[in-house]
Amino acid sequence: MDRNIEKLEPQVVWSYFKQLTQIPRPSKHEEKVREYLIATARSLGLTCSVSPIGNVTIRKEATDTTEPRKKIVLQAHMDMVASKTPDSQHNFLTDPIDAYIDGEWVTANQTTLGADNGMGVAMGLAVLASNNIKHNDIELLVTVDEEAGMTGAFGLIGNEISGEVLLNLDSENDEEVCIGCAGGINTNITYPINYIDAKADTTSLKIVLTGLFSGHSGCDITLGRANAIKEMASLLLQLNTIAEFDLALISGGKLRNVIPGYCEAVVNVANDKIASIKEFITNYGLELGREFALSDPNLKLLVQDHAFSAKVIEPQQSAKFLFALVSVFNGAWHVNNTLGIAETSSNIGVVSTHPDRLEVITLQRSAINSAKTKMANIVATAFKQIGATVEHADSYPGWQPNTDSPALAVVCQTYRELFNEEIIVGATHGGLECGLIMDKFPTLDAISIGATICFPHSPNEKVNIESVAKSWKLLVALIEKL
Distance CA 470, CA 105 (A): 14
If we measure between CA atoms, which residue out of 242, 230, 292, 291 comes closest to residue 269?
Answer: 242
31 a catalytic residue: no
| Pure H helices in 155-305 | 228-239, 274-291
Question: Is residue 145 a contact partner of residue 27, using CB atoms and an 8 Å limit?
Answer: yes
Q: In Å, what is the CA distance from 85 to each residue of 50, 214, 261, 299, 310? A: 34, 10, 9, 13, 30
Burial class (CB in 10 A: 0-12, 13-18, 19+), 301: buried
Question: Is residue 127 a contact partner of residue 30, using CB atoms and an 8 Å limit?
Answer: no
List 216's β-bridge partners, or say none: 258
Q: For the sheet containing 165-168, what is the strand order?
A: 47-50, 56-60, 138-143, 72-77, 165-168, 445-448, 176-181, 424-428
Give the active site residue among 30, 79, 139, 176: 79
Give the active site residue among 30, 146, 170, 343: 146
Three-class DSSP category at 186: strand
Three-class DSSP category at 364: strand
Q: Is the dihedral of CA 227, 244, 381, 153 positive or negative?
A: negative
Using CA atoms in the order 424, 426, 431, 437, what is the torsion angle rounded to 10 degrees?
100
Q: Residue 140: CB partners within 8 Å, gap ≥ 6? A: 57, 58, 59, 60, 73, 74, 75, 76, 124, 125, 127, 128
If we measure between CA atoms, which residue out of 108, 126, 154, 120 comes closest to residue 40?
Answer: 126
Distance CA 356, CA 371 (A): 33
| Pure H helices in 303-448 | 315-327, 369-384, 406-419, 434-440
Specify the amino acid at residue 23. I
Would you list the DSSP string of 162-178?
--SEEEE-----TTEEE
Q: In Å, what is the CA distance from 228 to each residue of 187, 232, 260, 290, 357? A: 18, 6, 5, 15, 20
6 a catalytic residue: no
Distance CA 191, CA 390 (A): 9
Q: Is the dihedral of CA 373, 379, 382, 388 positive or negative?
A: negative
Q: Where are the beta strands (DSSP E) in 182-271?
A: 183-192, 195-197, 202-210, 245-252, 263-270
**DSSP secondary structure code for residue 32 in this structure:** H
What is the set of active-site residues?
Answer: 79, 146
